[in-house]
């Protein structure tokens, strides 16, 4: 207790220097708690994003033949037809479902409002793969596709932009001059990872056949799809499933299945595995811990200085019966008090900041740092180590003061 009081006196005596030292500790611990907490929620945000996009979702699309494959002189854009997709669907054994989508950026008009949006031609097979819940009305049905009906399902934001809070179902809008009836509105999806094109919230869905008929692909293949979607079955590995689909598709397009420029593949699970989240968290932790450790140098300096200035006091204490261990303990407690003061303040500030972040309405894609028990434990652990080193060295130095020096202080 006396040593703790002495620590507070010491801080008062050092004025600005104490403030800077404490600031280092506050900054250090706050950054550990904040950044490590942030890293944790970053991981969760990514995870959630993939969950929504579909963790077992995969896509294939056509590109151009790669240079090391024949005929490499053929630079034309390869096209996958709807018929190709239907054929693959019949032949594929490993994928749980296969579907097609086609998309185009088109002007959309409703009343006096007009803007461009991504309009997707979809089919029920593809929608089952995406599994996006409908908020109002219905989704695109087999009958819509079979009869090429002019119906549209709006993404959450599109409906919001066009109609605000009013119901969207039953309204009519024009896409590139053609009339469509709104039959459904999707749930808000928020941040997603790995999707192609615009976020689903900003898309308009129409039957794929209506899409082909209204905006046929120029050239020989009017029914070209943009994307082949597939869903992994629970038992099959992503690589084997993609390999099978790639082989079937390559056969139909007349390209080499190994040509990754001709057939471009993407899968959520593989992308997720490639994001170095662990490393990212490690870097955040390392950066913040380093900051905290560096702040320890300030404490070390302060304590070394106070030991230098208090040699007389230390000598006196030793002369009147303090054991060297008593002196070591005294300076360790003084250091611990200073470190605890700065460190706990830092943790409190970080927690307050985290709560403040949570209260602000941030875009979903920005991770909100969370109160992380491991982060606090890490901060406390590093703080203790800092205290032990920054206090230990000066304390040992203090214990070596010669008690006989009390008799010689005036020469």
Partner 1 sequence: MGVGEAANAILDLEGVHKHYQTDRVDVHALRGVDLRIATGDYLSIMGPSGSGKTTMLEILGLLSPASAGTVRFQGRPTSGLDVTALAHIRSQEIGFVFQAFNLLPRLSAVENVELPLVYQRSGGGPGGRRSRRDRKERAIEALRRVGLESRAGHLPGEMSGGERQRVAVARALVNDPAVILADEPTGNLDSKTGEEVLSLFDALHEQGGTLVVVTHDERVGARAARTVSVRDGVIERDD
| Alpha carbon separation from 407 to 247, 274, 310, 358, 396 (Å, rounded) | 94, 70, 15, 62, 22
The rounded distance, in Å, linking the Cα atoms of 296 and 394 is 13
Q: Least distance to partner 1 from the beta carbon of 403, Å?
A: 5
Q: Least distance to partner 1 from the beta carbon of 333, Å?
A: 13
| Structural tokens at position 152 | 């549209």
| Structural tokens at position 111 | 């009343």
Return the residue of 19, 131, 283, 325 that touches partner 1, per CB under 8 A. 325
With a CB cutoff of 8 Å and minimum separation 6, the contacts of 94 are 233, 236, 240, 241, 244, 245
Return the residue of 70, 114, 312, 362 that touches partner 1, per CB under 8 A. 312
x-or-dash pattern for partner 1, window 6-35, by CB under 8 A? x--x--------------------------
Q: Across-strand partners of 98? A: 230
Note whether 326 binds partner 1 by CB under 8 A. Answer: yes
Tell me if 53 sits within 8 A of 195, measured CB to CB. Answer: yes
The rounded distance, in Å, linking the Cα atoms of 70 and 8 is 79
Note whether 402 binds partner 1 by CB under 8 A. Answer: yes
CB atoms inside a 10 Å sphere around CB 84? 22
Return the residue of 94, 293, 319, 371 that touches partner 1, per CB under 8 A. 319
Segment near partner 1 (CB under 8 A), from 122-130, 238-246, 276-284, 321-329?
Answer: 321-329
Q: Least distance to partner 1 from the beta carbon of 344, Å?
A: 25
Return the residue of 313, 351, 358, 396 that touches partner 1, per CB under 8 A. 313
Note whether 317 binds partner 1 by CB under 8 A. Answer: yes
Note whether 2 binds partner 1 by CB under 8 A. Answer: yes
What are φ and ψ of residue 182, in 5° steps?
Answer: -80, 120
Q: Least distance to partner 1 from the beta carbon of 9, Å?
A: 6
Note whether 397 binds partner 1 by CB under 8 A. Answer: no
Note whether 407 binds partner 1 by CB under 8 A. Answer: yes
């Amino acid at each position: 207790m006396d040593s703790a009081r002495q620590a507070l006196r010491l801080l008062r005596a050092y004025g600005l220097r104490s403030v800077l030292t404490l600031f280092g500790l506050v900054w250090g611990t706050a950054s550990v708690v904040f950044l490590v907490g942030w890293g944790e929620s970053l991981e969760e945000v990514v995870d959630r994003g993939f969950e929504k996009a579909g963790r077992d979702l995969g896509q294939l699309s056509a590109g151009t033949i790669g240079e090391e494959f024949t005929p490499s002189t053929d630079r034309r854009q390869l096209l996958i037809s709807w018929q190709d997709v239907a054929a693959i669907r019949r032949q594929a054994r490993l994928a749980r479902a296969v579907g097609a989508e086609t998309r185009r950026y088109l002007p959309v008009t409703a009343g006096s409002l007009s803007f461009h949006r991504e309009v997707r031609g979809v089919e029920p097979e593809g929608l089952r793969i995406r599994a996006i819940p409908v908020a109002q009305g219905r989704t695109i049905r087999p009958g819509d596709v079979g009869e090429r009906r002019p119906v549209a399902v709006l993404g959450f934001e599109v409906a919001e932009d066009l109609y605000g809070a009013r119901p969207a179902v039953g309204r009519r809008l024009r896409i590139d001059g053609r009339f469509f009836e709104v039959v459904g509105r999707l749930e808000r999806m928020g941040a997603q990872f790995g999707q192609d094109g615009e976020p689903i919230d900003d898309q308009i869905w129409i039957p794929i056949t209506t899409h082909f008929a209204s905006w046929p692909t120029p050239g020989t293949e009017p029914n070209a799809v943009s994307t082949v979607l597939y869903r992994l079955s629970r038992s099959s590995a992503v690589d084997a499933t993609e390999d099978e689909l790639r082989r079937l598709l390559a056969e139909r397009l007349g390209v080499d299945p190994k040509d990754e420029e001709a057939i471009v593949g993407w899968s959520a699970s593989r992308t997720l595995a490639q994001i170095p989240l662990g490393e990212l968290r490690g870097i955040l932790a390392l950066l913040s811990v380093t900051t905290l450790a560096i702040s320890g140098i300030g404490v070390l300096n302060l304590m070394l200085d106070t030991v230098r200035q208090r040699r007389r006091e230390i000598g006196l204490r030793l002369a009147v019966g303090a054991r060297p261990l008593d002196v070591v303990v005294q300076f360790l407690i003084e250091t611990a008090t200073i470190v605890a003061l700065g460190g706990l303040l830092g943790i409190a500030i970080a927690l307050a900041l985290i709560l403040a972040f949570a209260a602000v309405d941030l875009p979903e894609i920005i991770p909100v740092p969370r109160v992380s028990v491991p982060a606090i434990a890490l901060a406390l652990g590093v703080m203790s180590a800092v205290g032990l080193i920054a206090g230990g060295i000066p304390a040992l130095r203090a214990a070596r003061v010669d008690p006989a020096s009390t008799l010689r202080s005036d020469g």
